[in-house]
């Protein structure tokens, strides 16, 4: 599509006229004494374009109309490319721009769509009928509504890239743009109570696990955010934890937080005490809190061998070990992420939603709202007390 402003210029139709002495006339006299038309000119992705008019007014009118189309990304006809070639190109262009897991998801969705409608079809020939038929096919295969919605959102995002910046489709030509997601019943959020947390902490036994559980429940960090913490990230003076990206320097692993956002979260006094004790046991000059020196060496070796990716486990068997702690504590089933959710729910009781969103690292505030809707057992008791009080007052009257 056009990448520069549309301009209007004279197009000279004859050589420069000469005066009575045989010399070219001055440039200032060209518009009056040299025949010309007017041209609207713009630059496309691959070459220069122009359209000639007899009058300046016609050229300017066309240029104004074209300029408005350029602002909408509609100036050039889209370049033709097959779905198969687009799939291959997309993989190459997105490598390094998105997380490995996201790239895998893009590849999976594109390959499924390609297998359904055929890879030889050009992108501009794909219509909403194709996308709707594909989704019906996916539903017939027995997929859950959440998996269907994931396909829709992934392919919609990919075809938006085919519009801008790649220019294979024009505005409004995304075949998945108007597909509605399937409705999903809201699953209840597993809230880990303070009493359950205390039992887990008691049965954790090792200082490593006590510290990790305390950070998850008290600071609401995601699993990988916890595992990639270094001692530099801990502000013991102000009881804060910094979540920030890491560059591959020395014995530091390259890592990016989700949504590539830096943030600072509170740290409980209890977490601070655990970390002080854990730091006293840590090897000298080792940067990581939860990644041991031997595990760090193993990861760096795998990176050098090319057998490591972002889906690889930083720490192996964490789920199984947490399950053993849960079993000893007699706590109902939960995940490490449920500890994070519980921390956010606790914040939501006292803190404004926009602050909770920042602390949680949510890019979409609708995700944060879920935790304002979480009903805890004590909330049920409070609701019962309200109704009982109202009924009691009605009897008195």
What secondary structure does DSSP assign to 73-112, as a single string?
A: T-SSPPPP-BHHHHHHHHHHHHBTTB-HHHHHHHHHHHHH
User: What is the rounded CA–CA span in Å between residue 92 and residue 95?
Assistant: 6
Is residue 168 a part of any domain in this protein?
Answer: no
Q: Within this chain, do residues 26 and 102 fall inside the same structural domain, yes or no?
A: no
Q: What range defines the domain where residue 41 resides?
A: 7-71
- pLDDT for position 363: 84
Tell me how many degrees the CA angle 253-255-258 measures, rounded to the nearest 5: 160
Q: Within this chain, do residues 20 and 99 fall inside the same structural domain, yes or no?
A: no
Mean pLDDT by 10 residues, the chain (397 residues): 66 86 85 87 67 87 74 57 92 80 89 94 93 93 89 94 84 90 77 94 94 96 95 95 91 84 91 95 94 94 82 86 95 94 90 90 84 67 76 71
CATH number of residue 306's parent domain? 1.10.443.10
Q: Within this chain, do residues 131 and 218 fall inside the same structural domain, yes or no?
A: no
User: What is the rounded CA–CA span in Å between residue 87 and residue 123?
Assistant: 10
Q: Within this chain, do residues 232 and 321 fall inside the same structural domain, yes or no?
A: yes
Q: Within this chain, do residues 88 and 52 fall inside the same structural domain, yes or no?
A: no
Q: Within this chain, do residues 150 and 201 fall inside the same structural domain, yes or no?
A: no
Is residue 389 a part of any domain in this protein?
Answer: no
Is residue 360 a part of any domain in this protein?
Answer: no
Q: Which of 71, 92, 122 is the last residue of a domain?
A: 71
CATH number of residue 100's parent domain? 1.10.150
Q: Within this chain, do residues 223 and 272 fall inside the same structural domain, yes or no?
A: yes
Q: Is 288 helix (H, G, I), strand (E, B) or coil?
A: strand
Q: Is 386 helix (H, G, I), strand (E, B) or coil?
A: helix
Is residue 216 a part of any domain in this protein?
Answer: yes
Q: Within this chain, do residues 146 and 209 fall inside the same structural domain, yes or no?
A: no
- pLDDT for position 272: 95
Q: Within this chain, do residues 57 and 113 fall inside the same structural domain, yes or no?
A: no
Q: In what order do the strands lie in the sheet with 7-12?
A: 7-12, 36-43, 48-53
Our count of domains for the chain comes to: 3
Q: Within this chain, do residues 227 and 302 fall inside the same structural domain, yes or no?
A: yes
Q: Which of 140, 163, 186 is the last residue of a domain?
A: 163
Q: Within this chain, do residues 107 and 214 fall inside the same structural domain, yes or no?
A: no
Q: Within this chain, do residues 45 and 117 fall inside the same structural domain, yes or no?
A: no
């Amino acid at each position: 599509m056009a990448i520069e402003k549309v301009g209007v210029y004279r197009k000279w139709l004859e050589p420069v006229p000469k005066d009575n002495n045989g010399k070219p006339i001055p440039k200032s006299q060209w518009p009056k004494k040299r025949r010309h038309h007017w041209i609207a000119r713009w630059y496309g992705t691959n070459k220069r374009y122009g359209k000639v008019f007899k009058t300046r007014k016609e050229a300017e009118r066309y240029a104004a109309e074209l300029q408005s189309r350029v602002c909408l990304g509609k100036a050039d006809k889209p370049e033709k490319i097959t779905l198969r070639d687009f799939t291959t190109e997309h993989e190459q262009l997105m490598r390094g721009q998105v997380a490995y897991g996201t790239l895998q998801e893009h590849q999976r969705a594109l390959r499924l769509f390609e297998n359904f409608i055929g890879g030889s079809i050009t992108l501009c020939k794909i219509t909403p009928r194709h996308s709707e038929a594909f989704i019906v096919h996916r539903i017939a295969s027995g997929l859950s509504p959440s998996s269907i919605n994931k396909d829709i959102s992934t392919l919609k995002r990919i075809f938006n890239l085919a519009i801008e910046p790649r220019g294979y489709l024009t505005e409004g030509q995304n075949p998945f743009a108007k597909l509605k997601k399937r409705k999903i019943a809201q699953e209840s959020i597993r809230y880990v109570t303070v009493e359950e947390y205390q039992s887990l902490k008691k049965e954790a036994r090792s200082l490593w696990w006590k510290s990790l559980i305390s950070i998850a429940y008290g600071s609401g960090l995601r699993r990988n955010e916890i595992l990639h913490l270094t001692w530099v990230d801990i502000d013991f003076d102000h009881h804060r934890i910094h979540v920030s990206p890491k560059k591959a320097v020395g014995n530091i692993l390259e890592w990016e937080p989700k949504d590539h956002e830096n943030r600072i979260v509170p740290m409980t006094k209890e977490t601070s005490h655990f970390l002080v004790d854990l730091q006293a046991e840590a090897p000298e000059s080792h940067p990581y809190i939860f990644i041991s020196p031997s595990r760090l060496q193993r990861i760096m070796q795998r990176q050098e061998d090319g057998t490591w990716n972002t889906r690889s486990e930083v720490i192996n068997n964490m789920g199984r070990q947490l399950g053993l702690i849960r079993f000893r504590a007699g706590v109902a089933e939960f995940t490490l992420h449920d500890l994070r959710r519980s921390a956010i729910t606790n914040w939501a009781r006292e803190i404004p939603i926009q602050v909770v969103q920042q602390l949680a690292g949510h890019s979409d505030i609708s995700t944060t709202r879920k935790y304002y809707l979480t009903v805890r057992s004590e909330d049920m008791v409070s609701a019962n007390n309200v109704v009982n009080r109202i009924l009691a007052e009605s009897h008195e009257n």
